[in-house]
């Protein structure tokens, strides 16, 4: 009887330890940016990346007026290639159709264009969670633009499945 009692106590202790460690790992995840947000941030703030940006695929109002039709088709093909690469890279992080909105709004391309214009590399240094609610997540991002440290705050809107529906600068 004593042996069975010891085994039951030992089993309860093991279960209690496992439960406590599971709770502590869950709470540490609550202090981190979601894997979807982190993946999107890394993709849009690691520049240059010719798979995700090409200045020839960027659309500027008034640009291309008078271009030959062939040149316009090449730009469209390049833009389509860039869009497909974004979908391969982070498409699984977005709800249906949301990545197209993200790409059209220009935030995805803004860091690439800035890096190209200033002829510098941009890379993420640190990502931290600024706030989290049921359907939103705010991330503070510290990144290096060349040698200079910069900061950005991004607001991610999520659906009930935790997929991103919108990304925009916060504040």
Map out the domains of the chain with their CATH numbers: 34-169 (3.10.450)
Residue 57: what pLDDT? 62
Helix (H, G, I), strand (E, B) or coil at 126: strand
Structure tokens at 102: 């993200």
The total of other beta-carbon atoms located within 10 Å of residue 43's CB is: 20
Helix (H, G, I), strand (E, B) or coil at 45: coil
First to last CA, the chain: 66
121 or 17, greater pLDDT: 121
Give 33-56 pLDDT, tens digit per residue. 999 999 999 999 999 999 999 887
Residue 97, judged by CB atoms within 10 A of its CB (0-12, 13-18, 19+), counts as: exposed
CA–centroid distance for 44 within its chain = 7
Give 109-124 pLDDT, tens digit per residue. 999 999 999 999 999 9
Helices (H), the chain: 2-29, 35-44, 69-90, 98-105, 107-118
């Amino acid at each position: 009887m004593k042996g069975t009692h010891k085994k039951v106590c030992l089993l309860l202790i093991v279960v209690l330890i496992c439960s406590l460690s599971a709770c502590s790992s869950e709470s540490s995840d609550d202090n981190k940016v979601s894997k979807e947000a982190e993946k999107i941030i890394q993709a849009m703030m690691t520049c240059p990346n010719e798979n995700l940006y090409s200045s020839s695929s960027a659309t500027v109002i008034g640009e291309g007026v008078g271009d030959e039709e062939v040149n316009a088709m090449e730009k469209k093909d390049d833009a389509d290639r860039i869009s497909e690469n974004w979908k391969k890279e982070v498409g699984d992080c977005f709800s249906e159709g949301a990545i197209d909105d993200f790409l059209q709004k220009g935030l995805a391309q803004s860091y690439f264009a800035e890096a190209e214009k200033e002829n510098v590399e941009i890379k993420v240094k640190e990502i931290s969670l600024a706030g989290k609610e049921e359907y939103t997540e705010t991330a503070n991002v510290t990144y290096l633009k060349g040698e200079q440290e910069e900061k950005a705050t991004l607001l991610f809107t999520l659906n009930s499945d935790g997929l991103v529906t919108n990304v925009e600068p916060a504040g």
